[in-house]
């Protein structure tokens, strides 16, 4: 099944390092990031999991729950967790799905057989509180992800939902933003009473809303 932006993400039940997870119920009224790892006891994955543990307060600030997945059994996750704490200085502080039966990996299309027919690629799914898929990323096994970029994407998505603004190329927190095209000038006057810089009728720049 190909998951597309705007789809409701599939629900599932699976074992994790924090007990059985019923996915939609676990998300509750928060945002969620589901991300896959090719395999336990591999170097890049070990660094990624330590980094996500370090960044957990940043995800929480944004009301985002994080959950990892690896196609290895629970007992292996427990041993690997110790290595992550030892080498990265941050112990796992979020659930890691034990997807040895590939239930979730297959449901979410995380195994790309022409890349590798047993391991998952590095997938990222950003899901909003309505369980709608808002972003997907796919990285090869050999490239560790940039989780600062994933936080930046969350900030952009939440600004769009809350303030009807989009974020331009290379936008960083605090930079100017753009009024979304779906908002006409009459509506924009209500939303942005201090006005905007109209570089073109379709390119209206405003300060980032608080
Ligand atoms: C890693 O996590 O280091 C890794 C996993 C699979 C293939 C290549 C690298």
Please report, in tens digits, the pLDDT of each residue of the chain (210 residues total). Answer: 689 999 999 999 999 999 999 999 999 999 999 999 999 999 999 999 999 999 999 999 999 999 999 999 999 999 999 999 999 999 999 999 999 999 999 999 999 999 998 999 999 999 999 999 999 999 999 999 999 999 999 999 999 999 999 999 999 999 999 999 999 999 999 999 999 999 999 999 999 998
- Let me know if 71 is a catalytic residue: no
Atom of ligand 1 nearest to the CA of 45: 2
Tell me the best of 40, 45, 71 to mutate to test the pocket of ligand 1, counting ligand atoms within 8 Å of each CB and taking the most.
45
Exposure of 190 by Cβ count < 10 A (0-12 exposed, 13-18 middle, 19+ buried)? Answer: exposed
Alpha-carbon distance of 102 to 53, in angstroms, equals 24
C-alpha 166 – ligand 1 centre gap (Å) = 35
**CB of 98 closer than 6 A to ligand 1?**
no
Does the reported pTM lie above 0.85?
Answer: yes
Q: Are 55 and 147 in contact (CB under 8 A)?
A: yes
């Amino acid at each position: 099944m190909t998951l597309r932006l705007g789809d409701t993400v599939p629900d599932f039940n699976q074992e994790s390092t924090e007990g059985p997870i019923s996915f939609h119920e676990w998300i509750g009224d928060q945002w969620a990031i589901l991300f896959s790892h090719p395999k336990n006891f591999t170097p890049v994955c070990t660094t990624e999991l330590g980094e996500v543990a370090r960044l957990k307060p940043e995800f929480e600030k944004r009301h985002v729950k994080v959950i990892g997945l690896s196609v290895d059994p629970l007992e292996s996750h427990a041993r690997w967790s110790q290595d992550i704490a030892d080498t990265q200085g941050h112990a796992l502080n979020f659930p890691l799905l034990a997807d040895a039966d590939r239930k979730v990996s297959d449901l979410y299309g995380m195994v790309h057989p022409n890349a590798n027919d047993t391991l998952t690629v590095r997938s990222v799914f950003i899901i909003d509180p309505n369980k709608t898929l808002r972003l997907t990323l796919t990285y090869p096994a050999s490239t560790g992800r940039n989780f600062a970029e994933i936080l930046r994407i969350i900030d952009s998505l939440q600004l769009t939902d809350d303030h009807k603004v989009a974020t331009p190329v290379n936008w960083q927190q605090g930079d100017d933003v753009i009024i979304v095209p779906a908002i006409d000038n009459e509506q924009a006057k209500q939303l942005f009473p201090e006005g905007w810089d109209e570089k073109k009728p379709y390119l209206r720049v405003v300060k980032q809303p608080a």
